[in-house]
Amino acid sequence: MSIKTMLYSRTVVSNELNFTKMCFVVNCLKRFKSSQQWLSRQRADPYVEKAKIYNYRCRSAFKLLEMNEKTNILRPGLTVIDLGASPGSWTQVAVQKTNADGADPTKPKGTVLSIDKLQIFPIEGATIMNNMDFSTIEAHDKVVATLDGRKVDIVMSDMAPSATGVKELDKDRIIGLCYMALRFAALVTKIDGNLLFKVWDGKEVPILEMDLARFYKNIKILKPNASRTDSSEKFILARGFKGIQRPLENGRWG
């Protein structure tokens, strides 16, 4: 190899390394800026402060509290399953509203099951199923055994996939989670039971609503004030489970 070629090759490699370093620095700066924005938003968020005051694990508790205030889906004596429940703020609300901890001896005592692949620290009044994928047969069997065959009044979920930064991909992934939650709910919910879960606004949401209408009598979109104003999230409440009639030829329920 000639000296000229060697020098040219070294220059190319050096430029590539410098470009790679520059990209790394830019990405780090972006992440730093994003982290700083997140911290600033957290400090300015009244619901973050309220969560600390009322001992909720995160601000999402107030979304469920607000939705329940309007719909009364959580009541003493009901059986509730919280999917993707970590860190557990929705479970905390469910325990309070269903009296699962027996705090009020004058009211019926409910049951709350919380399932997540991640760790959920103990919550008094709730049965915690850590390291559990709710979409598996094992999870279904464990739920059935825990409830001793009893059906569920409401399945709820505030879960979302880890963000990729690609909005359309993230929206498709959360829709996938919604269908998994629907399948789970169809297997464990009693007739006239309810399903509540989060979606991100997108073109697939109307299709999801139509599919839900095959299994539930009423479909309602909710956007609590506790949801951030710049967020595309909303919640779908499906009420009045009709039951499973029969599987169709394409494998979907009818």
Helices and strands per DSSP (H, E), number in the chain: 7, 7
Give the count of beta carbons closer than 10 Å to the beta carbon of residue 26: 10
The SS3 of residue 48 is helix
Catalytic residue among 4, 30, 198, 220: 198
**E strand spans, the chain:** 79-83, 111-115, 126-129, 152-157, 189-200, 216-222, 233-241
Which among 214, 211, 209 has a CA at the least distance from the CA of 236? Answer: 209
Give the Å distances, CA to CA, from 12 to 5, 8, 15, 24, 142: 11, 6, 5, 18, 59
Whether 198 is a known active-site residue: answer yes
Q: Which residues pair with 113 in a beta bridge?
A: 81, 127
Distance CA(148)–CA(224), nearest Å, equals 35
Cα gap 21→61, rounded to integer Å? 42
Report yes or no: 109 and 96 within 8 Å, Cβ to Cβ: no
Residues 153, 155: Cα–Cα separation, whole Å? 7
Strands 152-157 and 126-129: unpaired
Q: In this structure, are residues 83 and 157 in contact, taking their beta carbons and an 8 Å threshold?
A: yes
Are the CB atoms for 142 and 114 separated by under 8 Å?
no
Q: Which residues are catalytic?
A: 198
